[in-house]
Amino acid sequence: MSVRELLPFFKWGFSLRRSNFLVPALSSDVIVTGEEAVGFEDSSRREVIANAANLNPAAASKPNPIDQAISLLTNAEIVSRVVNGSIPQYKLESELNDCTRAVEIRRQVLERALEHEVSLRSLPYDNFDYSKVLGACCENVIGYIPIPVGVAGPLLLNGTNVTIPMATTEGCLVASTHRGCKAITESGGCHASIIGRGMTRAPVVRFPDSRRATDLVHWINEPVNFEICKRAFESTSRFARLSSIKPTIAGRLVYLRFKSETGDAMGMNMISKGCEKVLEMLQTPFPEMEVIALSGNVCTDKKPAAINWIEGRGRSVVCDVVITGHIVEKLLKTTVKDIVELNQSKNLVGSAMAGSVGGFNAHAANIVTAVYIATGQDPAQNVESSNCITIMESFNDGKDLYISCTMPSIEVGTVGGGTFLPAQSTCLDVLHVKGASRERPGAHADQLAKVVCGAVLAGELSLMSALAAGHLMRSHMSLNRTKAAH
């Protein structure tokens, strides 16, 4: 099969049939579900594309005569061919063997489709290495969005100063987090600990009746059978370490929530491969088992869910600090009594009255998302990663302030996803967590999760102080309003 014949599969992916067997993936590193494209194993995207076509990367870069002929056409001629359907848009990069030119042509096609009513001139596209994006991060590319990146800190975290990169368009956010970092550092620094670790995926399977569904639950719960599943699961990766499988039954449906350590990768691809292997193995003792989907939403990924709040997902982290009363008054411009009372009324009682799940905080999602975008994480996972309870108490007979943030489901990785892109990789380097840890797999992702929790602690401290002092609107009016003419 040629590269050009193969590319449509990379575009549309592969689906899992609702049958007793999983459709074999083209490569062991390709898994796609009906819910989402799980994609390629974190550390081997580029090799997969080449190996799947029985090519090496050097050979893949050489255009064949057909590609060469197309590349000799003018941009206008190629645009016409795309418009009439003779060249699919998603094939432009492979046909031209020039990613930037492909983007230029795709922009012209879009402007033509919009009848030139919209100009893309303000959407930049040049000076970007699109070869790093191809087959990995984005499809049908027309440019990129520049997002300002600021830094907060240094934050004294576990005895070490860290500077926190934050990508955001919200005025005050970086400045406020920076103020919180200063208050924490001048009070002697905060401490963060990992209290749980493990990415989850929950396939859903179906049986003819509830009796056989129950049989699977009992079978999984037998220690000897779990070990069989564990061996199958861990055979798919050097870093996967299966810690549990928790079955949930609904009639004749069974949801199997797998939980596994995944090294320095965020781990969705890794754990999905392991789940697929176990499901294949389970067809022997349970031949009537029908696989409905590799993800049955009990995972739960990118959706609010009490299960992540209670049982954790990714890294579970707690971070705390005692802020001296002097700093509360001089730097944060409030009092211990006022900020503790506000936290009780707002973050605890107010969130409870709203029926919140994991939202017992002021604005954890703000900081999580800004750090995620800067460091190449999946920003959609801020939904569960922002689960946080902020606790404030008077300390040392009311003289000082104790504050903690507990975050049970921070989902981060330092390899895979967008972490290898140059800008995001640089931000990881600022934090000294770029790539995989050679000394201890998972150490870099652990540290990034601690940084996220520490940054949230700083953001919570500063915003709550501003609210207690009545300064919130004043700062937003001065920093969060554009000076440009409308």
- Concatenated DSSP letters for 87-140? S-GGGHHHHHT-HHHHHHHHHHHHHHHTTTSS--TTS--SS--GGGTTTTT-SS
Bridge partners, residue 392, by sequence: 403
pLDDT tier for residue 39 given thresholds of 50, 70 and 90: very low
pLDDT level of residue 472 (50, 70, 90 thresholds): low
Q: CA 281, 283, 284 angle in degrees (round to 5)?
A: 80
**pLDDT higher than threshold 90 for residue 429:** yes
Short-list 333, 354, 213, 227, CA closest to 281: 227
Between these two residues, 3 and 365, which has the higher pLDDT value? 365
Whether 126 is catalytic: no
Higher pLDDT, 482 or 166: 166
Confidence of residue 8 (pLDDT cuts 50, 70, 90): very low
Mean local confidence (pLDDT), 13-37: 35
67 assigned to active site: no
Residue 88 has pLDDT above 50, yes or no: yes
Count Cβ neighbours within 10 Å for each residue of 388-398 and write b for 16 or more, e otherwise: bbbbbebbeee
pLDDT confidence of residue 71:
87
DSSP for 69-80 reads HHHTS-HHHHHH
What's the rounded Cα separation, in Å, for the pair 268 and 416?
Answer: 10
Which domains are delineated in the chain?
62-146 (1.10.3270.10), 149-196+310-479 (3.90.770.10), 203-293 (3.30.70.420)
Selecting among 11, 132, 302, 346, the annotated active-site residue is 302
pLDDT at 440 over 60: yes
Q: Mean pLDDT, the chain, as a whole number?
A: 87
Q: What is the pLDDT of residue 66?
A: 53
Query: Considering 378, 400, 446, 460, which one is annotated as catalytic?
Result: 378
> What is the distance between the alpha carbons of residues 412 and 267, in angstroms, rounded to a whole number?
9
Question: Would you call 486 a catalytic residue per the annotation?
Answer: no
- Residue 70: the pLDDT is 86
Tallying the residues shown for the chain, one arrives at 486
What average pLDDT does this structure show over 4-31?
Answer: 37
- Which amino acid is residue 383, in one-letter code? V
Does pLDDT of 391 surpass 80? yes
363 catalytic residue (yes or no)? no
**What's the confidence (pLDDT) of residue 52?**
37
d(CA 356, CA 359): 5
pLDDT in tens, 270-294: 999 999 999 999 999 999 999 999 9
Q: ∠ at Cα 147 (142, 148), nearest 5°?
A: 155
Helix and strand totals (H; E) in the chain: 20, 13
pLDDT value of residue 367: 98
pLDDT tens across 41-52, in order? 344 444 433 343
Name the active-site residue from 170, 215, 234, 320.
170
129-184 pLDDT per residue, tens: 999 999 899 999 999 999 999 999 999 999 999 999 999 999 999 999 999 999 99
pLDDT given at position 4: 43
CA distance 315 to 306: 16
Q: pLDDT by residue (tens digit) across 102-121?
A: 999 999 999 999 988 889 99
Answer whether residue 68 shows pLDDT above 70: no
Reply yes or no on whether the pLDDT at 3 is more than 60.
Answer: no
Residues whose CB is less than 8 angstroms from the CB of residue 15 and which lie 6 or more positions away in sequence, other chains included: 23, 32, 33, 34
- Tell me the percentage of the chain whose pLDDT exceeds 90: 80
